[in-house]
Each structure stands twice: as C-alpha cells, then as structure tokens.
Amino acid sequence: MSVLVFIETEEGKIKKSAREAISYGAALGDVTALALGTVSQDELATAGENGASKVLHVSDERLNASLIQPYAEAIAAAANATGSEIIVTAKSSLADAVVGRVAIKLGASLVSNVVALPDTSNGFQVKRSIYTGKAFANVNLTTDKKVLAIKKNAIEVKTDGAAASVEALSVTLDDSLFGATITSTEKAEGDVLLPEADIVVSGGRGLKGPENWGVIEDLAKTLGAATGCSKPVSDMDWRPHHEHVGQTGVKVSPTLYVAVGISGAIQHLAGVNSSKYIVVINKDEEAPFFKAADYGIVGDAFEVLPKLNEALKAALA
C-alpha cells in the first residue's frame, strides 16, 4: 500500500511529530514522505530512519511561508503523483488548517486525533481521541482514499530504518493560491515547542507573578521541557497565549506534565488529560488537580521547586 506522509519541519529540522507520522505510515505500507519549502537534503534523508523509503521535496521558496492553500495543493498533487491511498500527517495547528482542504481535493475520508494503528481485518477502522481526551471513538472510513492526522506522542518513533532517497517534486502552484500576505512572525526562539514536548512544566496563579517564572524555567531547563501556563496566567499577560494549556488553549500529550501552583480547573485538565504521568505541586492540599495526578506534593512552589531542581540535576548528571 502506498502511503504519503506530509512532514513538517521547524528551523530546518524534521519535527518529532513528523517522525511519529512517518513511523505510523511505515506500519501501513511503503512510505513516501513529503517536505515543502527550504530544507536540506541531508536532513530529509534522515526520514529513512523512521521508515520512509523516499522523500519528495517541493523546494519552491514560496512555501517557506506556510500558507494553507498552496500547502493543500502541493500535498494533494503529491498524493496523486504517488498514487497514495493513505495520507498521514501529525495533527498540528498547520496540519489542521490544511488537511480538510486536502481531503476534499482527493475525495478522501478524514479522521483526526488518531491514537492507534488501524484495524484492517474488516474494512479500515481507526481509533481516535474525542471529548478532549475524555473518550475514544472507533471509526470506519468508507472511502478508498484516507487522510489521517495522528495525535502527537501517541505513536512511538521508529528509529531502525535506513537513509531515504530524496527526490525533487515539481508542483504547479498558481500565484492566486498565495493571496494572503504574511506581514510579521513572532516566535519564541530556542524553546522546546509546547505541542511537541515530551515533558511540560506549567505554572499557575500560585506563582504570584510573571517575575517569579524563573523557578518554572529552571526546572524546565533541567528536564529539557517546554513551559506552559494556566488560562488565568495568560489572560493576565504573565505569559504569552501560545503557552496557555487547556480546553481553549494548547492541548498537550507529553509523557510527563508537571503542574505547579495550578488548582486544576476542569478546563485546564481537558488540555492535559492525555499526559502519561502528571505531577502536581500545590500549597492547597484540596486542589482538585491532585485527583488527576500520579504524584503530588503539598508545598510552597518557591520552596519545593529549587530543591526539586537540584535533586533532578543530581539524578540526571
């Protein structure tokens, strides 16, 4: 079975979630990965480690701005060129915006938040996360072509493949597809991207103010983690909105989520309930978050965090 995997890159590197998507695709059939915009051939060849036999590269510089319509056009064109029946991508802000268009172009069924390999014993059934991680649905896809968006951190990255061949793919992209003009981009530099992160350290109102975020950042640095925050914290502009974890912010699914000074409103829990392990540190022993946690410490963040940071540093040294 021919599988096309659209891979997103960040700062010239294939994202971890894209490697998860390739690994997913490799379990289904022969994977051709697709990269758009400027990326080095050497980096693209590493998609082979995760199971891609070939990488198609549409290097059109106009694709460095990730505009939705040309992305959808290029992905659909690559799917047609390779005769792929299944198109796989990691779920992300960009992919969410793009793949609906791709599915319509291809007449394909589309399912998002996929958390497991399909059951093909009787048709094609996939398991997806629904109700913001509070349940799953098993869905039968009834069209020949299928587009699957894989939930981040749901699939283990395969690392035993070889280098992939990289081939240029030429796609005609009409200027009219580039109608939107990007006037500015603001991006946090050098940080671990929150939606991609394996470990997340989040702070809430218990931190008392933005000037105290150093204890969160120190712990995150030690753990190689991304930093997040609760909604009130981003509402008060202590931290930027793209760090807001929760129902209406970023939903994360790390292996470890550390919540500091966050009481655990249901809207926050909805953004973190796919985490594999949750650690809660809070002064209030009645904080509802403890009920959702695997490990809990009742204590003052400003006393606990420096001690925890030192202990972690020693353990990880």
Partner 1 sequence: MNILVCITHVPDTTSRIAFTNDNTEFDKNGVQFIIGPYDDYALARAVELKEQNGGKITVLNVGEADSDPTIRKALAIGADEAIRVNAFPSDSYFVANQIAAIAKDGGYDLILMGRESIDFNGGMVHGMVGELLGLPSFSPVMQLEVEGNSAKITREIEGGKEKLEVSLPFVAGCQEPIAEWKIPNMRGIMSARTKPLNVVEPTDNATHSEMAAYELPAEKGAVKMIDADNVGELVDLLKNEAKVI
Any bridge partners for residue 244, and if so which? 229
The answer to whether 297 is annotated as binding is: no
Residue 147: which H helix or E strand, with range? strand 146-150
Taking phi over 0 as left and psi of -120 to 50 as alpha, with beta for the rest, 263 belongs to alpha
The answer to whether 263 is annotated as binding is: yes
Residue 124 CB, nearest approach to partner 1 (Å): 10
What is the Cα–Cα distance from 129 to 138, expressed in whole angstroms? 9
What is the Cα–Cα distance from 303 to 19, expressed in whole angstroms? 39
Instruction: Tell me, by CB under 8 A, how many residues bind partner 1.
Output: 93
* Nearer Cβ to partner 1 (81/94): 94
What is the Cα–Cα distance from 10 to 285, expressed in whole angstroms? 40
Residue 113 CB, nearest approach to partner 1 (Å): 6
Sheet with 109-114, side-by-side order of all strands = 125-130, 109-114, 146-150, 86-90, 2-6, 30-36, 52-58, 165-168
Residue 134's identity, in one-letter code, is: K
Residue 35 phi/psi, 5-degree rounding, is -120, 145
* Nearer Cβ to partner 1 (56/72): 72
Task: Return the range that interacts with partner 1 (CB under 8 A); candidates 20-28, 29-37, 77-85, 289-297.
Answer: 289-297
191, 274, 276, 203: which is closest to 239 by C-alpha?
203
- Which one among 55, 79, 86, 111 touches partner 1, defined by CB under 8 A? 111
What is the Cα–Cα distance from 100 to 103, expressed in whole angstroms? 5
Q: Does 131 bind partner 1 (CB under 8 A)?
A: yes
Q: Which of residues 199-218 bind partner 1 (CB under 8 A)?
A: 199
- Which one among 182, 208, 210, 214 touches partner 1, defined by CB under 8 A? 182
Residue 239's identity, in one-letter code, is: R
- Which one among 1, 134, 162, 167 touches partner 1, defined by CB under 8 A? 134
Block residue for tokens 């966050």: 262
Residue 36 CB, nearest approach to partner 1 (Å): 15
Contact (Cβ atoms closer than 8 angstroms) between residue 245 and residue 228 = yes
* Nearer Cβ to partner 1 (15/26): 15
* Nearer Cβ to partner 1 (27/180): 180
Q: Does 79 bind partner 1 (CB under 8 A)?
A: no
Q: Does 105 bind partner 1 (CB under 8 A)?
A: yes
- Which one among 43, 46, 53, 100 touches partner 1, defined by CB under 8 A? 100
The answer to whether 265 is annotated as binding is: yes
Residue 228 CB, nearest approach to partner 1 (Å): 12
* Nearer Cβ to partner 1 (51/109): 109
Decide: helix, strand or coil at residue 180: coil
Q: Does 101 bind partner 1 (CB under 8 A)?
A: yes
Q: Does 109 bind partner 1 (CB under 8 A)?
A: yes
Bridging pattern class, strands 13-14 and 165-168: unpaired
What is the Cα–Cα distance from 166 to 143, expressed in whole angstroms? 30
* Nearer Cβ to partner 1 (57/145): 145
The answer to whether 59 is annotated as binding is: no
Residue 148 CB, nearest approach to partner 1 (Å): 11
- Which one among 61, 174, 175, 181 touches partner 1, defined by CB under 8 A? 181
Binding site, by residue number, is 205, 261-268, 282
Q: Which residues are annotated as a binding site for FAD?
A: 205, 261-268, 282
